[in-house]
A and B are shown apart, each in its own frame.
Chain A
Amino acid sequence: VENNNILVLGVGNILMSDEGAGVYVVRSLEQNFQFSENISLLDGGTLGMRLLNPISRASQLIVADTAMLGFSPGTISRLTMDDIRTGNIVKNSMHQLSFAETLNMAEMMGFLPPMVIIAIEPFDIVTMGTTMTSFITANFDNFCMRVLDEIMATGGTFSKKERVLNNMFIGCN
C-alpha cells in the first residue's frame, strides 16, 4: 500500500517536564533528518480536537506521546487504537478533551487512518518545567529511533542532515 501522507504527530505539554516528550521527538527529527515528501511532521502540542483536521487528511498516523502504563520511567511502548479504546491511556493532559478522545472522535467520524502510538513512560508530568527528567533523556535517542522505525515500516524514507549543530537532544534545552 502506498502511503502518500504519513503524519508524524508529537503531542504533549512542553511546560510540564516529561509531558512534552512527544513534541521534543518531532522537533529533534525535524532538526536532524531530511524526510521523503510523503512525510509531514507536526508539533501537536495540546491542541486536542483541533488536530482532527490534519488527522483527517493523513493516510497513516504515527504519534509520539507519553503514556502512563505502569512501566518503569523511560520504557517505550507501541500502542494501537485497540489500546486507546480500552482506556489504557491515562488522561495525561491538562485539557479535558484529551488526545485519546480526539482519536476516538476521528474514529467515530470515520476518518481515522491506520494509527500507531510510540509512547514513553514519563517520570514527572506534574512539575512545571521546560526540560525532561533524566529518565527520559537517557532513552530519548531510542524513542526517536522507534518513531523512525515506524516511518520506514509505513513507506517513508529519510536521511541524516549534513549539518547538524547539536546532538539528538536538540529540542531538550
Chain B
Amino acid sequence: MARIVIDPVTRIEGHLKIEVEVTNGQVTDAWSSGTLFRGIETILQGRNPEDAWLFTQRVCGVCTYVHGVASVQCVENALTTKIPDNARIVRNLLMGGQFVHDHPIHFYHLHGLDWIDVVKALEADPAKTAEIARTISPDAPTIDFAAVKTRLAGFVDSGQLGIFNGGYWGHSAYLLSPEENLLFAAHYLTALRQQLIAAEMHAIFGAKNPHIQSLRVGGVTCKFDITTERISKFRNLLTQMRNFIDRVYIPDVKYIAKKYNNWKSIGGFKDKFNYMSYGGFPLDSSETNMLFPAGVILNKSATVDTLNLSQITEHVSHSWYTGSALHPSVGQTTPSFTKYDTADKYTWLKAPRYNNVAMEVGPLARVLIAYNKNVSSVKTLVDSFLQDASLTAVDLHSTLGRAAARALETKVIADAMDGWLTSLNPNGEVLTTTTIPDTGTQQGFGLTEAPRGALGHWINIQNGKISNYQMVVPSTWNLGPRDSSGNRGPVEQALIGTPVADASKPLEVLRIVHSFDPCLACAVHVIDTKKDKAYTIKVS
C-alpha cells in the first residue's frame, strides 16, 4: 500500500492537493484538499448589496462573469426585481460566451495533455497525420503538420519543453500513435488561437474580458451597445467559434472517446451517481423554462427529481472551520486551521450536500438531466455522439462522459446563442430601476449554472447593507471533502478503483481529477507560503 500526494495539481486554476492510497496498482482511498482560504464573504459584510457583484466577480479570473451574475441575481431575488427581456438575453449571451471560451480551453489545454503525448508527436509522419485529420473531420481547416512538428521539435530537442515541461511523456497510459499525437498537438495550438476569438466576443456586450463591466442589479448597462453593427460583429465571431466546435472540438472528443474506450468505466462518481443542476440559460421571464433544466438525479435514476433548495447544507466536520452543517442562507464562514490530517480535517473546502448526499455538478450533470428530461437539442446530439463513439448512455457516468458532456453542451449553447442574438431588440430596455430599502431585512438567493456547475449566492440584507453573504460554488460540490457521516465527496469517490501503472507518475489520477475541471480560486477560501511553490509528487 502506498500513499501518493500530488500537491499542487497543475493545469487547473487555484490550488488543489490530492492524496490517494494505492493498493496492488489501484486507488483504494482518496482525499481532496483545497489549500487556500477565500475571504470574499467576510469582505462583503456591511457593504452596499449593489456593489457585491464587483467583488464576487473578482474571486477568480477564469469564469469571471459567473460570480457577477449570481450576485446581482441574489440581490434581485431579495428585492423581487424582474429584469427586462433584453437584459436576460444579454446575460445569456455573456454566460454563453463564457462557456464557449472555457470548455475548449479545458479540453485542449488543461485536460488534453492527459491524453496526448506531445513528445511522441515528434516521431510522426506529417503526411499520414494529414490523412487521419481528413478522416476525423473532412471539413476542418487544413494544417501544415510538418511545420507544427518542426516547431515542437525545436522545443523538445533543446531540452526546453516550455509549456510542456513536467508531463509524464512516454507513460504507458498514453495510447495514441505518433501521428494522432501530432494532430492533437496541432489542435492544441489551433484552440489557443480560437480562445482569443471567444474572449473578444465576450467583450462586445461585456465591455472587457475578463471581468465584464456591464452588469447591474436590475439588468445590464450596455443599452447603447445593442446595435445592429455590434450584433453582427458578435455573430461573426460566434460563427467562427461554432465552426471550430463542429469541425474540430467535437470530432476530436469523439476520437479520444474511441481510442480511450476503457475510460468509459473509469472515474465515475461510484457510490451513488448523484447529479444536480440549478438550471441554466432562462429562455423566458418565467425563470423555469431553461435551456438546461434544473433537477436532481439520484442513484443513476432515469427520472429527474425536482430541485428543493431547502435540502442544501454545507458540512464542515472535515474542513478547517468551526460550526455545524447549515443551509447557505444561514451559513457561517469561521476559519479554524488545525493541521492537514486526512483522518480529521484536511481542506479549506466545505462539503456541500443535498439531502445529506454528495452531488456531482457540472457539464455531465446538466447534460444527463436535460437528456433524461428529453430536451430535444441535447437528446439528439448525445444519441448521435454515443452512436458514433460506440458508447451507450450508461457509459456517460465516467471520465469520458464528463469530457463528452462538456463538448456537447458547448455546441448546444453556441447554437442557441445565434437565436438569442436574433431576438435582441436594439431599442429595448435593459434595466429595471431598483431601490434598496434603508430599513428592514431582505433575504435572497441567486442560482445559475457556471461552466463548472451549479453556482449559488445567498444574501441577507439588513438596513440596506449586507449582513451575511455565502457563495456555494461548483468546485466545492465536486472537490469537497468527506461530510459529517464520513461519506466521500464526488472526486474522492471517482478516484477509487483507478488503475495506477506507476505510482511515481500518477497520470491516471490526474486524468480523473482534471475531468472535473477543478477551479479552486473561488472554491476555497491566500496561499500557504513556501510549500506550494514546487510541484511535488510524494510516494510513501
Contact = CB atoms under 8 A, between A and B. Distances in A.
Interface in B497-540: 526-527, 529, 533
B196 A101 contact: no
A126 B199 contact: no
Contacts, number: 60
A45 B105 CA distance: 20
Interface stretch (A30-38, A104-112, A150-158): A104-112
B293 to A, nearest CB: 32
Contact of B13 (A90, A95, A109, A126): A95
Interface stretch (B4-12, B256-264, B411-419): B4-12
Contact of A50 (B10, B151, B152, B210): B210
B160 A95 contact: no
A91 B15 CA distance: 13
Contacts of A128: 526
A53 B163 contact: no
A133 B15 CA distance: 26
Interface in A34-76: 45-50, 52-53, 56
A128 B109 CA distance: 30
Interface stretch (B187-195, B306-314, B315-323, B324-332): B187-195
A173 interface: no
Interface string B116-160: 000000000000000000000000000000000001100100101
A56 B155 CA distance: 20
A105 B158 contact: no
B163 A50 contact: no
Interface in B74-124: 105, 109
B10 to A, nearest CB: 5
B160 A101 contact: no
B526 A95 contact: no
Given A105-B192, A108-B189, A96 B200 contact: no
Contact of B162 (A49, A107, A110): A107
A128 to B, nearest CB: 5
B362 interface: no
Contact of B163 (A90, A95, A101, A126): A101
Nearest to B9: A96
Contacts of B163: 101, 104-105, 108
Contacts of A161: none
Interface residues of B, number: 31
A85 B158 contact: yes
A86 B160 contact: yes
Nearest to A96: B10
Contacts of A109: 189, 192-193
A138 interface: no
A53 B193 CA distance: 9
B527 A49 contact: no
B162 A85 contact: yes
A145 interface: no
A85 B165 CA distance: 10
Interface string A128-158: 1000000000000000000000000000000
A50 B14 contact: no
B61 A90 contact: no
Contact of A101 (B12, B155, B158, B162): B162
A91 B8 CA distance: 13
Contacts of B105: 49
Given A94-B527, A96-B10, A108-B151, A47 B61 contact: yes
Nearest to B200: A53
A85 B189 contact: no
A105 to B, nearest CB: 6
B432 interface: no
A94 B109 CA distance: 18
Interface of B: 8, 10-15, 61, 105, 109, 151-152, 155, 158, 160, 162-163, 165, 189, 192-193, 195-196, 199-200, 209-210, 526-527, 529, 533
For the complex of A and B, the 10 pairs showing the least CB-CB separation, nearest first, are A104-B162, A85-B160, A104-B163, A53-B196, A126-B529, A101-B163, A96-B10, A128-B526, A105-B163, A109-B189
14 contacts: A47-B61, A53-B196, A86-B160, A87-B165, A94-B527, A96-B8, A96-B10, A96-B11, A96-B14, A104-B162, A105-B163, A108-B152, A108-B162, A128-B526
Given A49-B105, A85-B160, 14 more contacts: A15-B526, A45-B61, A50-B209, A86-B160, A87-B160, A90-B533, A94-B527, A95-B61, A96-B10, A96-B11, A101-B163, A105-B192, A108-B163, A109-B193
Interface of A: 15-16, 45-50, 52-53, 56, 85-87, 90-91, 94-96, 101, 104-105, 107-110, 126, 128
